[in-house]
Amino acid sequence: MKRRFLMTLAVLGLAAVPVWFALSSTDAQAQAKPDYAVGDRLAKPAAKTTGGFRTITFDDLMPADWDPNAIFRQLDMESLQDNDPRAMEVMAKIKQAWEQAPVVPALNGQKIRMAGFLVRLEGDDKHIREFLLVPYFGACIHVPPPPSNQVVHVIPDKPVPVGPDMGAVWVSGTLNLAASKTDLGDAGYRLAAVKVEPYTGD
């Protein structure tokens, strides 16, 4: 029963080792093939400036002193069974902690470039007007969203042509600290994008 409860946390993106960290071992696999599996991440790009935009990664969106595992050390999940009413309380506490994940103030107003997976929010059958940028394939669609400081709400300056579901993209624009609540997940950042292009590596 306890194992089933922990598996439920994992499916919710709330495993004792957070899904968005545990899945980082698939970087090479994600880079080597055009089709991605749930949990695949893109290879970490080199830190450089392209066209006036500084390349950053999802790791840069987290404060250096923030420990995403801290919430798990505060909870006694080992003692909980599937039918324990405290189980839902535990999941609610973890969800709240991830929704309130801290952002990096120094990134506000920065011109940045970063790669990730596109999760459509607004658009039609030909164009996308708003989307979430997430660090691993399947986030917000096949598995629940990661912490809010790992989700960027992107608003392109012009609609983006529809591509593959959860396609990998590069986005360039001005990043701001702006919390957004959407049906697919909470974002801690907003990016006014001037360029959205398919991901082709570094």
The pLDDT value recorded for residue 22 is 39
Q: Check: pTM over 0.75? Answer yes or no.
A: yes
Residue listed under structure tokens 């600290």: 177
Residue 44 to residue 27: CA distance in whole angstroms: 8
The pLDDT value recorded for residue 43 is 93
Supply 195's token pair.
């360029």
What is the dihedral sign for C-alpha 62, 63, 65, 67? negative
User: What residue segments make up the domains of the chain, in order of their start?
Assistant: 1-202
What's the Rg (C-alpha) of the chain? Answer: 17
Which distant-in-sequence residues (6+ apart) come within 8 Å of 186 by Cβ? Answer: 99, 145, 148, 151, 179, 180
The pLDDT value recorded for residue 142 is 82
The pLDDT value recorded for residue 34 is 57
Residue 125 to residue 135: CA distance in whole angstroms: 24
Query: How many Cα atoms are found within 13 Å in the side-chain-facing hemisphere of 15?
Result: 15
pLDDT, averaged per 10 consecutive residues of the chain (202 residues), comes to 42 42 40 73 91 96 89 71 74 84 97 97 94 94 90 96 89 97 95 95 77
Three-state secondary-structure class, residue 29: helix
Answer CATH for 1-202 from 2.60.40.1220, 1.10.10.10, 3.40.50.300, 2.40.50.870 = 2.40.50.870
Q: How far is CA 15 from CA 37, 50, 145, 180, in A?
A: 19, 36, 13, 24
